[in-house]
Structure 1
Amino acid sequence: MTGTTAHTPLVDLRFHNDLTIDPAHAPNDISMLDFTIFLHEAYALPQELVVSLRAHPELQLRLLLVARNGTRRFTNVPQIVRTTKAMGFEVVLDDTDFENMAGFAEVVNWCNVIMGVHGAGLTNLVFLPMNVVAIQIASCYDLEEVAEHTYEPSTRDSGMLYLQYGISVDESTLLESYLRDHPMFIDPQSIHHQGWFKMGKIYLKQ
């Protein structure tokens, strides 16, 4: 795609970073915030800024839980839902209906918090308003930096607060498949040095 105006983001094949637009290398200094505003306008989303609960105490906090159904999924979703509800949140599961993307985008837009394990599901944060909280759960064994690199810049640049939690070995399903003296536990770099696909086959399955 070629051509742009001062108010229209340009989407093309240039890569600045994961889910990130670098204004210094983008036409007309377009930023990730400009892109999210563009999406909000395209889907006619009602919230640009999250609604203040101080101004509207009748509203309830909403948490979008990116549960995933394959690898890197929460194994205790019911417990998470119960605990989160006890804290005063309404929990929304990301059962994305791609036949009704506009409807799903509006559901996301009314959330105050998004939480999920590192993965593509967290890209739904582009539909959130500014001033919300994005919480990423990072798999253990040297994947915390990869997770942060992928989503921290985009959330920051979109006007959100980014938080990250790295799970411990005792919280990982890896213990269900490997003994504690396996090299993947005692020497994780030996696995990482075998390449992304070998590493992903083990660590990205937890």
Structure 2
Amino acid sequence: MHDFTKLIRDIYALPRTSPTIPSPEKRPRLLVIRRTHTRRLVNEEEVVRAAEGVDLRRDEDKGVVANARTVNTYDVVLGVHGAGLTNMLFLPPGGVLIQVVPYGKMDHIARLEYGDPARDMGLRYLEYIVAAEESTLLEMLGPEHPAIKDPESVHRSGWNNMTHFYLNKQSVRLDVARFAPTLAQAFDHLRQQQ
């Protein structure tokens, strides 16, 4: 991953080789990956406010080169598990990936797909595992449904059921107070880059 990341950086001529070190004059930039269908961050605005003064990217896809260069201007990428997290490739080395892991015992899959590669790329990887109360599945299905009460049984029932509930049906509403320490860890990591 280290060599692959270097190749990507060279191909797209990404200028930043380190993240912003927080100071009174400079604030790190947080990119929130927006999902529009499943695994949406329902309370995105509240999360952004919790990050205090964060830059939120809302522009449309302008092609890979422009996207790579835009992402390279950020220090932290935050998103719910999904393909949008591949934008981590364009972060400067030493940057931070925060993966919001959907409810349903998805942490192992999430870590394999994004956590391990992020670490191998020289990024700091943080994950936030969604509690049942933060998942829209609880509202849809109720507390007694197996997808809420016993996620392991859903995993044992096969890939199709697991993806149906945990990847294709749910969105998340982060408990901002519970999530705040994860944001603090990201910014503490950036402070230590000196």
| Shorter-normalised TM range | 0.7 to 0.9
Number of aligned residue pairs: 169
> 2: distance between equivalents of 1:198 and 1:132?
35
Counterpart in the other structure of 1:138: 101
- Alignment of 1:105 onto 2:68: yes
2:152 aligned residue (189, 194, 200): 189
* More helix as a share of residues: 2
- Give structure 1 stretches of 5+ with no counterpart: 1-31
Q: Which residue, out of 84, 90, 95, partners 2:55?
A: 90
**Residues of 2 paired with 1:39 and 1:158: CA distance?**
11
Residue in structure 1 matched with residue 31 of structure 2 by the alignment: 64
Please show how residues 19-98 of structure 1 align to structure 2 within 5 Å: 32-53=1-22, 58-84=25-51, 86=52, 88-93=53-58, 95-97=59-61
Q: TM-score, normalised by structure 2?
A: 0.81
User: If the length of structure 1 is used for normalisation, what is the TM-score?
Assistant: 0.76
Calculate percent identity across the aligned residue pairs: 41
Partner of 1:115, secondary structure, is strand
Letter in 2 for 1:64: L
What is the alpha-carbon distance in structure 2 between the residues aligned to residue 203 and residue 51 of structure 1? 35
Q: What is aligned with 1:174? A: 137
Query: Comparing 191-200 with 122-131, which one deviates more in the overlay?
Result: 191-200
Aligned residue for 1:152? 115
The CA distance in 2 between the partners of 1:51 and 1:178, in whole Å, is 43
Shift of 1:103: 1.4
**Does the Cα contact within 8 Å between 1:110 and 1:128 map onto a contact in 2?**
yes
Q: Higher RCO, 1 or 2 (CA under 8 Å, sep at least 6)? A: 2
Cα deviation digits, residues 112-137 of structure 1 (max 9, x gap): 10000110000010011111111000
| Deviations 1:59-95, CA, capped at 9 Å, x for gaps | 33110101211101100111122222x2x432224x4
Given residue 41 of structure 1, which amino acid in structure 2 is its aligned partner?
Answer: D
